[in-house]
Chains A and B, each alone.
Chain A
Amino acid sequence: EIVMTQSPATLSVSPGERATLSCRASQSVSSNLAWYQQKPGQAPRLLIYGASTRATGVPARFSGSGSGTEFTLTISSLQSEDFAVYYCQQYNNRWTFGQGTKVGIK
């Protein structure tokens, strides 16, 4: 099983600031990496797939990068609606998720 490790577990950011979230795979997943956003009481929402392609309707302030085993999600200027938990997911070999990064208000 491919293990996904996200860091940090918690990130405190002020509105308008940049947030950088990391995700590492235990073995190469090529570019088969997605990012999801989950708000309390809601289902996850697909943000990024193919490591760097934004899903339909996702604002341009969200960007993804990386390949192989190291990936990054960047939120360029945090808005109030962006405070949430973010999960990475590999789909190169079945599916596994990282443990999540909670982005909170500083």
Chain B
Amino acid sequence: EVQLVESGGGLVKPGKSLRLSCAASGFSFSSYSMNWVRQAAGKGLEWVSSISSSSSYIYYADSVKGRFTISRDNAKNSLFLQINSLRAEDTAVYYCALGEYSSPFDYWGQGTLVTVSS
């Protein structure tokens, strides 16, 4: 059974940094691209970033480019999202999701909440 478990969220002051993690199990993690999607409270879904299986291809939404860094550790079946210079508008639930380029997102984690507030 595919399982994706996010962690690392919390209450953070504006301008600070945070690193989100996603632990994957139940599939061959090193063979698949992975993604981050976020959702502000009461709002829709926003794709944030994607990374290919070997980290050769990385994509970011324009709204986060330059502040967010996606990475992965295939030996530890883990996906990461480094968020720098946090802003109030980054407040959201962050989901990791399994899906290749030009494919939908087949599986999602339960999300981790990031709240940016002074």
Contact = CB atoms under 8 A, between A and B. Distances in A.
Interface residues of B, number: 20
B44 A91 contact: no
A97 B46 contact: yes
21 contacts: A1-B62, A32-B102, A36-B45, A36-B105, A42-B110, A43-B110, A44-B45, A44-B95, A45-B108, A46-B106, A46-B107, A87-B45, A91-B99, A91-B104, A94-B59, A95-B47, A95-B50, A97-B44, A97-B45, A97-B47, A100-B45
Interface in B95-118: 95, 99, 102-111
Interface in B41-65: 44-47, 50, 59, 62
A21 interface: no
A100 B39 CA distance: 12
A43 B47 contact: no
Interface residues of A, number: 23
Interface in A41-93: 42-46, 49, 55, 87, 89, 91-92
Of A87, A89, A99, the most chain B CB neighbours within 10 A belong to A89
B104 A89 contact: yes
Given A34-B104, A55-B106, A95-B35, 7 more contacts: A43-B108, A45-B108, A46-B104, A91-B99, A91-B102, A97-B44, A100-B44
Nearest to B100: A91
Contacts of B107: 46
A43 B106 contact: no
Contact of A43 (B35, B50, B111): B111
A87 B103 CA distance: 15
A89 B104 CA distance: 8
Contacts of B110: 42-43
Interface string B16-51: 000000000000000000010000000011110010
Contacts of A99: 44
